[in-house]
Amino acid sequence: MWHEEIVNPTKIISGNFAGPRSLFVTSNGDIYIDDGEKNGRVQKWDAKTSTCATVMNVNTSCFGLFVDINDTLYCSMPDYNQVVKRSLNDSVMTSNRVAAGTGIQGPASNELDAPFGIFVDVNLDLYVADCANDRVQLFQSGESNGITVAGRRSLNPTIILDRPSGIVLDAEKYLFIVELINSRIVGSGVNGFRCLVGCYGEGSQSNQLYYPFSFSFDHSGNMFVIDAENSRIQKFLLMKDSFSKLKKS
Residues 86-123: tens digit of each pLDDT: 999 998 888 899 999 999 999 999 999 999 999 999 99
Q: Whole-angstrom Cα distance, residue 151 to residue 58?
A: 29
pLDDT of residue 94: 81
Residue 12 DSSP one-character state: -
pLDDT of residue 239: 57
User: Longest Cα pair distance anywhere in the chain, in angstroms?
Assistant: 50
Q: Whole-angstrom Cα distance, residue 243 to residue 235?
A: 6
pLDDT of residue 175: 96
All domains of the chain in start order, with CATH: 23-248 (2.120.10.30)
Q: Whole-angstrom Cα distance, residue 14 to residue 8?
A: 16
- pTM given for the model: 0.92
